[in-house]
Chain A
Amino acid sequence: MLTYIVRRIFYSVPVLVIASFLVFWGIRTTYDPTAKLRTSRDAARVIAQRRHELGLDKSIVSQWWTWFTSFLHGNLGVSDRTNGDVWKMITHALWPSLQLMFFGIGFALVLAIAVGVYSAVKQYSVGDYLFTGVSYIGIAMPTFLFGLLAIALVVTLPVTWFHLNQPILYSVGLHSTGQSGFNLDYLRHLALPVLTLTVQSVAVWSRFQRASMLDVLNADYVRTARAKGVPKRKVIFGHAFRNALIPLVTVVALDSAFLVGGLVITEQIFSIGGMGRLFLEALSGGDAPVLLAWFLVVAVFVIVFNLIADLMYSVLDPRIRVS
């Protein structure tokens, strides 16, 4: 198992190298650091000189190599916008985002699996129809709309209606001023962003879990278990459940990487200084060094989630044992 993980990490190195080149190439061709010099006097000469200073007159591969080697030395460069160290900016932004993703994925998984299994076992019941309807609303609801609605309905309106001193749940940041650590204050801050971030995932994953559970409940081996006299509950959880999780792993692993996209909107709405916020700021400020580093971090996310998915397969399905 351990050697497998090490080997997989080793395999992911070329993926990262190629990804870093593509990202570098993409940003390099769409972004011109000498743009502001265009209005200066004798622009052509000034720009050419600056381009030479920055090494922009070299080939794209050698430019990338320069950036990549300094990246390997732990030097991600300096932000074009704030002159701050990019490495520090990224690590600073990573922590709140990791919290959101950790609790988000955990919450979405538990809820989606519970709803999916319930809907499949009680197919065509009132509860099943209810969850079906709610999940379609969840799938159709844009993240920003859900976030704003949640803030209005849970935070601001109750305060005005019931003349509360403070809202039940907060909608700004992850901690109140002076607070830190895992406490009630943290949870009251965390609830709405996590919900906003994951509402679509819960909706999609629960549909998926329902479908795969229905599939499995009709499988021959479930009938075999019933023919053995195994009680219904044990048939569902002992025989069907684990098999039904296998297809879900793929969807969750792929979607989890996409959650980074959801972070952009969620963090903006709830004023959380994480990766999503950093991305928006870097993009609007034309901050190439930050964007480069940001995309690399996301690439690492994708690789890590895929690795987790592969490990989950081998835990769930003995036919895919790693050796």
Chain B
Amino acid sequence: MTDVDPTDLDTFLLPDAPAAMVAGETAPLLSVRNLTVQFDTDDGIVHAVDDVSFDMVANETLGIVGESGSGKSVTSLAILGLLPKGAHVTGEVRFRGENILGINDNALRELRGDRIAMIFQDALAALNPVLTVGHQVAEAISVHHDLSRADREARVIELLDLVGISQPDQRYKQYPHEFSGGMRQRAMIAMSIANDPDVLIADEPTTALDVTIQAQVLEVLERIQDRTNSAIMLITHDLGVVAGVADRVVVMYAGRHAEMGTVDEIFYEPKHPYTRGLLASLPRVDRRVVNERLHRIEGQPPSSIFVPSGCAFHPRCPYADLQGLCVTEIPPLVDLEGGHFSACHFAKTLDERIPPHA
């Protein structure tokens, strides 16, 4: 799915997907509640993720967008307990109703790669250079299932074939450096789907790839989802990728969520000044004016050690009330209409609000 035609998206959405998290009709597969991650460093406490909550249901693709340092990757690593030792993680991560945050490593290990799997960015670094690709994919299976060597190998070859690697029986014996960038990312995906996981976390799976390969990899992910009904968390800073693939979107800023809603709501009716800024800064082919400069959000992303008071976005926000709420109160994430959430004090009146210092 490469265009943003809303009718297309509707057919792709599960009918009850957006409603599920509101009414709780379908139990979410994965639900993250008040997730907060802090790191103690010599310079101070890094607030990497601050009070983040969201749900994921089967067969849904949740896009998580934000700039570097907004806490996207840390969120995903926290879910699987893969953060370094110095991280303080609080909140809840419920998988099929059970909290898996802070459970012992052995119990978590059984979920990792089996029920919840992860695709990392930069597959060259994420694959072990001294082990064959086949071995690494096979290991994902052998860790969780007792299969005979022959069965395992057959399954790996099937997986490599599934993600679109040609001559999988020969590729099986090759090392990562013998693969091209796109092939490596496919192998990475094959590894992550080896046990048909319920939840697939893809951390910038297409960042290191050129655009045509990007599209192919995203297509592979979609094909996998059709097969396994996995819930996919797609972490990216590429709004184009999100528009093409995601069902719902979480926009993150400075470790908090700015906005959350269906892909249509986020792209066509954004209710947070940050989201608006992001969308405005996209190059538009359809209404290009000669010599028009791209919009940019003024200022710099905040330090995650000295997060601005109140709304973290207020120093850069054209709508901010710098004498009032925006500076003093952290805006709560408020449900505007059936699942469209915004963490802006003025979310409801944003359209009428005249930028005070524009």
Q: Are A220 and B122 in contact (CB under 8 A)?
A: yes
Report A-chain residues with C-beta under 8 Å of the C-beta of B114.
229
Residue in B118, B125, B130 whose Cβ sees the most chain A Cβ within 10 Å: B130
Minimum distance in angstroms from A226 CB to a CB of chain B: 6
Contact residues in A for B132 (Cβ distance below 8 Å): 318
Q: Which residue in B129, B130, B191 is a CB contact (below 8 Å) of A228?
A: B191
A227 touches B112 (CB 8 A): yes
Taking A229-B109, A229-B111, A229-B113 as contacts, is the C-beta distance between A224 and B128 under 8 angstroms? yes
Whether B118 contacts A229 by the Cβ 8 Å rule is no
- Which residues on the A side are within 8 Å of B105 (C-beta)? 232
For residue B126, which residues in chain A have a CB less than 8 angstroms away from its CB? Answer: 220-221, 223-224
With A220-B122, A227-B113, A229-B114 in contact, is A243–B129 under 8 Å at CB? yes
Q: Considering the chains assembled together, what is the distance between the CA atoms of A223 and B188 in angstroms?
A: 13
A230 engages B143 (CB within 8 Å): yes
Instruction: Give the Cβ gap from B192 to chain A, nearest Cβ, in Å.
Output: 8
Q: Is A219 an interface residue (CB 8 A)?
A: yes
Which one of A220, A228, A232, A242 lies within 8 Å of B139 (CB-CB)? A228
Q: Cβ of A316: which chain B residues have Cβ within 8 Å of it?
A: 130
Among residues of A, the one whose C-beta sits closest to the C-beta of B84 is A218
The B109-135 residues at the A interface (CB cut-off 8 A) are 109-114, 117-118, 120, 122, 125-132
Given A221-B127, A232-B105, answer yes or no on A227-B143 (Cβ-Cβ < 8 Å).
no
| CB of A225 to closest CB in B, whole Å | 7
Does the CB pair A228–B128 fall under 8 Å? no
Q: B140 at interface (Cβ–Cβ under 8 A)?
A: yes
Complex Cα distance, B149 from A118, in Å, reads 32
- Chain B contacts for A232, CB-based, 8 A: 105
Q: Return chain A residues, CB-CB under 8 Å to B130.
A: 242-243, 316-318
* Nearest CB of B to A277, in Å: 42
Residues in B neighbouring A224, C-beta threshold 8 A: 118, 120, 126-128, 188, 191
Chain A, Cβ-Cβ closest to B114:
A229
A97 to B312, CA, bound (A): 69
User: Closest CB-CB distance, B235 to chain A, in whole Å?
Assistant: 14
Bound-state Cα–Cα, A231 to B105, Å: 9
B23: Cβ under 8 A from any A Cβ? no
Instruction: Compute how far the CA of A243 lies from the CA of B111 in the bound complex, rounded to whole angstroms.
Output: 27
A319 at the A/B interface (Cβ < 8 Å)? yes
B-side interface size class: 20 to 34
With an 8 A cutoff between CB atoms, is A239 at the interface? yes
For B131, the chain A residues whose CB sits under 8 A away are: 239
Residues 235-251 of A contacting B (Cβ, < 8 Å): 238-239, 242-243
Partner of B143 from the list A221, A229, A319 (CB cut-off 8 Å) is A229
Q: Mark contacts of A2-16 with chain B using CB atoms, 8 A cut-off: 1 yes-contact digit, 0 otherwise.
A: 000000000000000
Q: Does B80 contact A (CB under 8 A)?
A: yes
* With known contacts A223-B82, A242-B130, A228–B177 Cβ distance under 8 A: no
Q: Closest CB of chain A to B274's CB: distance in Å?
A: 30
Is B144 among interface residues, defined by CB-CB distance under 8 A?
Answer: yes
Q: Is A225's CB under 8 angstroms from B128's CB? A: yes
Does B143 contact A317, Cβ atoms closer than 8 Å?
Answer: no
CB distance from A264 to the nearest CB of B (A): 38
Residues in B neighbouring A230, C-beta threshold 8 A: 109, 113, 139, 143
User: Complex: how many Å from CA A219 to CA B144?
Assistant: 23
Interface centre among B110, B114, B132, B139 (most CB of A within 10 A): B139
B179 in contact (CB, < 8 A): no
B54 at the interface (CB under 8 A from A): no
Taking a contact as CB atoms under 8 Å apart, the answer to whether A239 and B120 are in contact is no
**B175 sits at the interface (CB 8 A):** yes
A-B contact pairs, 21 of them (CB 8 A): A220-B125, A220-B126, A221-B125, A221-B127, A223-B82, A224-B120, A224-B126, A225-B139, A226-B112, A227-B82, A227-B112, A227-B120, A228-B112, A228-B113, A228-B140, A229-B111, A229-B143, A231-B143, A318-B129, A318-B132, A318-B177
**3 nearest CB pairs, A to B:** A228-B113, A229-B113, A229-B112
Q: A227-B80, A228-B139, A242-B130 are in contact. List 15 more A-B contacts (CB 8 A).
A: A220-B125, A220-B126, A223-B120, A225-B139, A226-B112, A227-B113, A227-B117, A228-B113, A228-B117, A228-B140, A229-B110, A230-B109, A316-B130, A317-B130, A318-B132
Task: List A residues at the B interface (Cβ < 8 Å).
Answer: 219-221, 223-232, 238-239, 242-243, 316-319
